[in-house]
Amino acid sequence: MTLFYDKLNEIKQKGDSSITIFFKSYTISLELIDTSDETIDLLYNLRKMYRDMFATDFKMTKEKTKKWIKELILESEDRILFIISINKRKIGCIGHGGYNEKENSSQLDNMMKDPSCKISGVMTIVEKIYLKWMFDFFELSKITGYLFSDNEKMMNIHRECGWKLLDKVPIKKKIENECSVWEICKESSNEKIERYFNIIELEKENLLENFQKIEYEIRI
C-alpha cells in the first residue's frame, strides 16, 4: 500500500476529521461525508440540479444516493468526499479520488454548491484550502481533473486556484441500460461533436501563486 491509500484509510477510520475555514464573518466547515438524511437530501438535490455537468447520468433516488455514499465513497480505498457547511448549514461538497502512482497524482471531483448560497467567493476559498491540504497531507506531485468545457463558471474558479488547461477533447454520449455516459472520442468530419471535456492539471507552485492569506484549521 502507498502513502496515499494509508492516509485515506486513516481519515476514514478516525471519522471525525475536519477542515475549518474562517472567511469574512463566516465559519466554513469541511467534514467527512455521512449517511444522515440531511446529507442524502443535499447530495440528491445537487445531483439532480447539476446532472448536465456529470459524465454519467441515470435515474436518481435517495436510496441510490445513500448506497453511493456508503459503497462508493466510505468503503472505497481511493475516494473521499467532504460536506461543506457554512455556519452549520450544509451547502455543498468537495472530494477527490483515484491515485496515479507513476505521476503521484489524484483527481479532484464532486465539487458542488447549493445555488441558494449566495456568498461570493466561497467555493474559490474552499477549493484553494482543499487543494493545499491534498498536496500537503498526501504529498502529491500534482492534482488532475476534467470538466465540461461549457462549465465556464467552474473553470473560472479553477483558474483562480492556478489550474492549467492541458487539452480540450471531444466527447460523445453513449446510452446503455437507462444510463448515459460521456466518453472521449475521436473528432470526425462525418460526425457532429456535441460537447468537449477540459483536461486540467495543477502543481503546488501554481496554487501557491494564487494563495492569499486565509485563516484555517485542520483537524485530521
pTM of the shown model: 0.95
pLDDT in tens, 103-133: 999 999 999 999 999 999 999 999 999 999 9
Q: What is the extent of the structural domain holding 30?
A: 3-212
Neighbouring residues of 126: CB distance < 8 A, sequence distance ≥ 6: 21, 28, 30, 84, 92, 94
Whether 217 is covered by a domain: the verdict is no
* Mean pLDDT, residues 31-51: 97
Cα distance between residue 129 and residue 95, in whole Å: 12
* CATH code for position 190: 3.40.630.30
- The pLDDT-based confidence of 16 (bands split at 50, 70, 90) is confident
Q: 62-89, pLDDT tens digit by residue?
A: 999 999 999 999 999 999 999 999 999 9
Q: Is residue 219 part of a domain?
A: no
Count how many domains the chain has.
Answer: 1
Give the three-state DSSP class for 197. strand
Q: Is residue 10 part of a domain?
A: yes
In a domain, 20, yes or no: yes
| Helices assigned H by DSSP within the chain | 3-14, 37-49, 62-67, 122-138, 152-160, 204-209
